[in-house]
Structure 1
């Protein structure tokens, strides 16, 4: 499940993943949030928190993630991923070269640093 978090800057989409994230989460939660920011700003920043209760992405979610990224290739300004899940951190670090913007991974205890980085 994806949940958009309140109280962020107008050009930031902050979200938290828990349990199983599937394609409908991208279609019904994340994509509308990204589109709302892009209606007002040229670029979007993303703060993506994957907590201890996150279980997995479905194949459909991974497909939607790729479609979202490629479909808005020039829209990304920064992405911060906050997690203590090693495979998520490793995969993010491995594939961040494919993103046309800075991507940083932060451990959960550094959420404040991630929030500061995404806002700066």
Structure 2
């Protein structure tokens, strides 16, 4: 499940993964939120929290993630991944070469720093 985070800086979309992330989460939460942000700001800046409740991305969700990136290849300006999962930092480093924007990982304890980094330079 994906839920939107409240209390985000202006121009920053906050999302949190809880339990399993499924294809429906993209259709019902992520895609509409990204489209709304792009319509309002032209780009999207994201803080994506993978907390201790996060378990996995299901195959359909992974495919929806790929499709979203293909539909909006230049829309993602900054993405802060906030998690204590050890696999996240190397994964973001590898996949960030495919993203046109900037991506960075933060530990869960640094959520506020992640929000500020995502917002820096936003119009």
Q: Give the TM-score taking structure 1 as reference length.
A: 0.94
Which one has a larger percent helix, Structure 1 or Structure 2? 1
Q: For structure 1, which runs of at least 5 residues remain unmatched after alignment?
A: none
Q: Could you tell me which residue of structure 2 aligns to residue 84 of structure 1?
A: 84
Q: 1:88: how far off?
A: 3.0
Contact 1:4/1:14, CA 8 A, preserved across alignment: yes
Distance between the aligned counterparts of 2:63 and 2:48, measured in 1?
Answer: 17
Contact 2:49/2:82, CA 8 A, preserved across alignment: yes
Q: For structure 2, which runs of at least 5 residues remain unmatched after alignment?
A: none
> Matches of residues 1-120 of structure 1 in structure 2 within 5 Å?
1-120=1-120
Pairwise CA RMSD: 1.1
Distance between the aligned counterparts of 1:72 and 1:11, measured in 2?
Answer: 17
Which aligned runs of 4 or more in structure 1 are off by greater than 3 angstroms?
none
Q: Give the TM-score taking structure 2 as reference length.
A: 0.92
The total of aligned residue pairs comes to 120
